[in-house]
Amino acid sequence: MAQDRGAALLHLVPPQPNEVSGCPFGQPEPLHPGPLYRGDRRVRGSRDSRMNPFRSMILGLRKSFSAERSNSQELRIRVSNLTRNTVLATCMEVADSGPKRNKGLLGREGLSSGEGLWIIPCEAVHTFWMRFPIDLVYLDSKKQIRKLVSAVPPWRLSACLLAQSVLELPSGTIRKTQTQRGDTLEFSTYSLAGERSSKESTVT
């Protein structure tokens, strides 16, 4: 009877989180041995690397992504008119994703000389809720100008069905650079550090 009561009591005691199943007084063996220690110093040895063979791979990918991100932040796009031998922009930004295209220049107070936004792909834009006028340059896939619109004020719509992308520039840029329909533009990237510049006339 005593043994039966003891067995019944054991069944009534709920297992604890750190208990081995079937024995309320046992301690579980760790599934993964911890890191090795030598005295008070941790030994960075083979045990950690064996338990996680992808650790070094993940660290390498993180380093490469960080390097690419830092390099992309240092790059700028220069837009030149090959036909007129003039420069439309020296610090052009690129809106090549849905959120960037939807936002455009909304929320800005204006564009300084040399700045601009290249929206790709795009064949129509609006200036609703904008605070300043802009010049619009519509380009086809060969970076040839198909349409020009100067000093577009806020709350306007503009489109060109033959265009693949649009440049939004400070008002007056078209007049200052003598840009005309049919001109061919060139896009080149350069580093802020001034190490070198590489022309990319086939930017897509």
pLDDT band at 137 (very low <50, low <70, confident <90, very high): very high
Domain enclosing residue 83, as ranges: 75-199
Q: Kindly state whether residue 35 falls inside one of the protein's structural domains.
A: no
pLDDT band at 189 (very low <50, low <70, confident <90, very high): confident
Best CA proximity match to 188, nearest among 69, 82, 95, 76: 76
DSSP lists the bridge partners of residue 183 as none
Phi then psi for 146, rounded to 5 degrees? Answer: -105, -25
- Does pLDDT of 1 surpass 80? no
pLDDT band at 82 (very low <50, low <70, confident <90, very high): very high
Collapsed DSSP state (helix, strand, coil) of residue 142: coil
Instruction: Please report, for the domain that includes residue 141, its CATH number.
Output: 2.60.120.1140
**CA 147, CA 166: separation in Å to the nearest integer?**
9
Q: Kindly state whether residue 13 falls inside one of the protein's structural domains.
A: no
Q: Kindly state whether residue 126 falls inside one of the protein's structural domains.
A: yes
Tally of domains within the chain: 1
Q: Kindly state whether residue 181 falls inside one of the protein's structural domains.
A: yes
- Does pLDDT of 87 surpass 80? yes
pLDDT tens-digit profile of 145-185?
A: 999 999 999 999 999 999 999 999 999 999 999 999 999 99
Secondary structure string (H, E, C) spanning 8-75: HHHHHCCCCCCCECCECCCCCCCCCCCCEEECCEEECCHHHHHHCCCHHHHHHHHHHHHHHHHHHHHE
Give the pLDDT score at 51: 52
Output the pTM of the full model.
0.60
Q: Kindly state whether residue 50 falls inside one of the protein's structural domains.
A: no
